[in-house]
Structure 1
Amino acid sequence: MVAAYVLLAVIIVGFFAGSASFVVWEIENELIDKRLSHAAEHWAADSYNPVLMQTIDLSFLRGTQIPQPLQHLAPGTHELRLNGRGLHVLIGEVKGERYAVVDDQSDFESIESSSYIALGIAFLGGIALAILIGRASANRVILPLTKLASAVQDGQQAGDLPGLDATDEIGVLARAIEDRTNQLSLALQRERWFTADVSHELRTPLTIMLGAAEVLTSRLRDRPDLLVMTERIRRNASDTAQQVGALLQLARAPESTDLCLVALRPLVERELERCQPLLRGKPLTLQFEAPDEVLVQAIPELVTIMVSNLIRNACQHTEQGTIRVRLTACQIVVEDSGTGLPEAVRARLFDRFVRGSENFTDGSGLGLSIVKRVAEHLGWTVRHDPAATGGSRFTLKFAAT
């Protein structure tokens, strides 16, 4: 706003200053240069009238009468200072003899200088006045808005926002922000309560399901046909228990989550072992490449969810070939030799309820969206790229500890 006022003042005052300068220049041209030319015409036409010339304060010099400083001037009108006086001189030549018409304009130049000084003072005064008005307007209009924006950005509690009691537009905006903040806070609190309650209530039945599946596995060792179904029940119950644990962790704010040092190599190996049953009947192998142990600050349950989802998806969508899992100091890469993903699916791959293939129905389409949400919760990043083998490559990037 201050800049706008200053720009306006520059335009207005500059326009008037330019106009005044043009007027002064025109006055000088009309009253001085043309008067000199007119007098020279009279002198050249032999109509020289000494009385008239004295009346208009002009001096006529010719031949040797022309002072030495003026003799080197070329024909035409000149403006110069001589002995502290401002002179306008017209040099001409008639019948081979040079002449000079001299007009002393010291008084006019003094008025001209005063005019330019006055214009400069007016210009600077206009700029100063624009700054004062702009700052006053900014303090009246912009400053309350800036304070309100800073309070919202700093996360100031609702009810303490500045401007709530104001009756102008700032007050309307502050009250609208407070109402919206209260609604969002209540919605977020309800979501956290719901997630925590659901996670807590599901733990008991899932624990019972896992226990029952283990009992059935021990009693049906002589029935391989039933062991497959028992293993499926156990695996799904275990996966659901992991997801419930992840939801419980995600219900907490990231800044209030307690991180611990997690060893990634045994965690990835454990998930690879758990996914071995998914390879039955497929000419498919799992390869794991890892350097020495990699330690990161994270939450074990959440890291397990991400790694498990990526490896399980690769096993389910790859019919033959190799699934490579690489662990480095800064990332985990899961690459398969499957058919890859259609172009239309890649753009929204991490959205909820999006499946990698329309022909694959054994899934809810939530796995990758949970992976992305967990990664963001931990401050990690997840990215998908087409693999060189034609399949998919998922990269979990983290900060090494």
Structure 2
Amino acid sequence: MQSRRKLRFRLVVSFTLFGFGLSALFAFAALNIRSRVEDQLVNASLLDDAKYANHYAQEHPEAPGPGSQLITGMTKSDRTLYKAPLAWQNLADTNGVHDIIEQSEDGDQRHYKLAVYRENHIISFVRYDVTREELGKQQLLISVIAAVFLFGLLSLVLGLWLSRKVLKPVSELANRLRDFRKAGKAEPLAPHFADDEVGELAHALDEYSARLTAMVERDREFNSDVSHELRTPLAVIASTTELLQGSPDLTEKLSERLKRIERASRQATELIEALLLLSRAERRGPTRGETTEVGKVAADVIESQRPQVRGKPLTVELRTEQQVSVNAPASVLSVALTNLIGNAIKYTLEGSVQVVVGNGSIEVIDTGPGIKPEDAERLFQRGVRGEGAGGSGAGLGLAIVRRLCELYGWDVSMRPRSDANGAIASIRFS
């Protein structure tokens, strides 16, 4: 997903572009209207002057024509028209104002308007030099462009101020939400905001937070109640198996079965304790103060999983390269290792499962069907099951392992083996 600019940035840019565009449009319209109106007025004035000069020449034939630095004029008859400039002679038959551009003697172009009026064989010419007028238009254009940029800058400053003022309640709402996340306790947001759109959003967030809090509390209470109630029958099973194992006439086969029942009962008890710890820790933080030796827990887990090995050409080996201890309850570590080692044994039909402890981590290396690199992270999602031998279950084991590891700051991962078929599951404690 492409990253988006902040809302404040988009507001400032939009306001600035709007102000700049509106100023530019107004300036363009003003210049265009001014040019059109001025051109029409000049043309009308020149034509009136030419008409006046024509009538004046008819009444005073010997009087000189009008003239100044910008306006010059002459009046000719049909007989003396040849004395007028050639370009003017070609326009003598058409009354009106004409735009003419000529090359001067010094090589510069001269732009002027020529008003022609013909009446009673008298032709009057009035010439108006617009070169200076064009220079004035250029200066006006530069001034207008500077004004447009100035208004654009003012729009930017105003946009910054307005965006800060408009978005201040939104930023305050976000800051309060962050403070609630740090404090771990949600307080009502709506009383801190005015009765506007932001206040309405805060009220909706309060309602949503209340529903979520109630739902989470119900789930936690249910988990706590179920876990607590399961302890009683498990305690009965554990005490009964302990009494039966002390019977003098107990056969070896029956003793082995009782040991399996005892291990299963202990695993169930550890799982319940881990789930209770997980539920409580999500509210109050992880439980620490208990040092657990990783190698010892791994050995107990391997022994509890040996019944799964029966009938398979499979060896399970524990190799301790370095003693590793963690500051966490043994039940938490046991649940995590039971899932990793149990999965390795379940999915490996033949070969070996090696559990390596050392260098601040534990690795479970198997020779099973392996996993795809792109599926390594997906296997830790709830409801995702592995494919292969014995691929049954609800797909919750690795998800629970991930939650426990995140709670205690451990890094759990899976990856395919590079030297052979199989997978490597590891937990790094440091």
TM over 0.5: yes
Matched residue, 2:324: 294
Report the 3-state secondary structure (helix = DSSP H, G, I; strand = E; otherwise coil) of the residue aligned with 2:413.
strand
Kindly, what percent of the aligned residue pairs are identical?
A: 29
Residue 200 of structure 1 pairs with residue 236 of structure 2: no
* 1:2-401 aligned within 5 A: 2-17=12-27, 54-56=68-70, 109=135, 112-113=138-139, 116-117=142-143, 119-121=145-147, 123-129=149-155, 131-132=157-158, 135-136=161-162, 139-140=165-166, 142-155=167-180, 158-162=186-190, 166-219=194-247, 222-254=250-282, 256-260=285-289, 261-340=291-370, 349-352=379-382, 354-356=384-386, 360=390, 365-387=395-417, 388-398=419-429, 400=430
Q: Any conservation in 1 of the 2:382–2:399 contact (CA below 8 Å)?
A: yes
Would you say how many aligned residue pairs link Structure 1 and Structure 2?
347
Separation in 2, partners of 1:149, 1:344: 36
What is the Cα deviation at residue 159 of structure 1?
4.6
Matched residue, 1:75: none
Report the 3-state secondary structure (helix = DSSP H, G, I; strand = E; otherwise coil) of the residue aligned with 1:288.
strand
1:157-189 deviation digits (Å, cap 9, x = unpaired): 545315666433222211111011111112222
What is the Cα deviation at residue 18 of structure 1?
5.6
Which of 1 and 2 has greater Rg?
Answer: 2
Computed over aligned residues only, the root mean square deviation of the Cα atoms, in angstroms, reads: 4.1
Separation in 1, partners of 2:379, 2:108: 92
Report the 3-state secondary structure (helix = DSSP H, G, I; strand = E; otherwise coil) of the residue aligned with 1:160.
coil
- Are residues 383 and 177 of structure 1, via their aligned partners in 2, closer, same or farther at CA, if it must alter by over 3 Å? same
- Are residues 336 and 268 of structure 1, via their aligned partners in 2, closer, same or farther at CA, if it must alter by over 3 Å? same
Equivalent AA in structure 2 for residue 237 of structure 1: S
Q: More deviation in 15-24 or 295-304? A: 15-24
Equivalent AA in structure 1 for residue 238 of structure 2: L
- Are residues 352 and 220 of structure 1, via their aligned partners in 2, closer, same or farther at CA, if it must alter by over 3 Å? farther
Equivalent AA in structure 2 for residue 372 of structure 1: R
What is the Cα deviation at residue 321 of structure 1?
1.4
- Are residues 378 and 164 of structure 1, via their aligned partners in 2, closer, same or farther at CA, if it must alter by over 3 Å? same
Separation in 1, partners of 2:367, 2:388: 19
What is the Cα deviation at residue 339 of structure 1?
3.4
Q: Any conservation in 1 of the 2:412–2:426 contact (CA below 8 Å)?
A: yes
Equivalent AA in structure 2 for residue 269 of structure 1: A
**TM-score for the superposition, normalised by structure 1:** 0.70
Separation in 1, partners of 2:240, 2:390: 29
Separation in 2, partners of 1:193, 1:351: 24
**TM-score for the superposition, normalised by structure 2:** 0.66
Separation in 1, partners of 2:194, 2:334: 52
What is the Cα deviation at residue 360 of structure 1?
3.0
- Are residues 139 and 52 of structure 1, via their aligned partners in 2, closer, same or farther at CA, if it must alter by over 3 Å? same
Equivalent AA in structure 2 for residue 139 of structure 1: K
What is the Cα deviation at residue 246 of structure 1?
0.3
Separation in 2, partners of 1:282, 1:99: 107
Structure 1: gaps spanning 5 or more residues: 32-49, 59-88
- Are residues 52 and 295 of structure 1, via their aligned partners in 2, closer, same or farther at CA, if it must alter by over 3 Å? farther
What is the Cα deviation at residue 251 of structure 1?
0.8
- Are residues 52 and 90 of structure 1, via their aligned partners in 2, closer, same or farther at CA, if it must alter by over 3 Å? farther
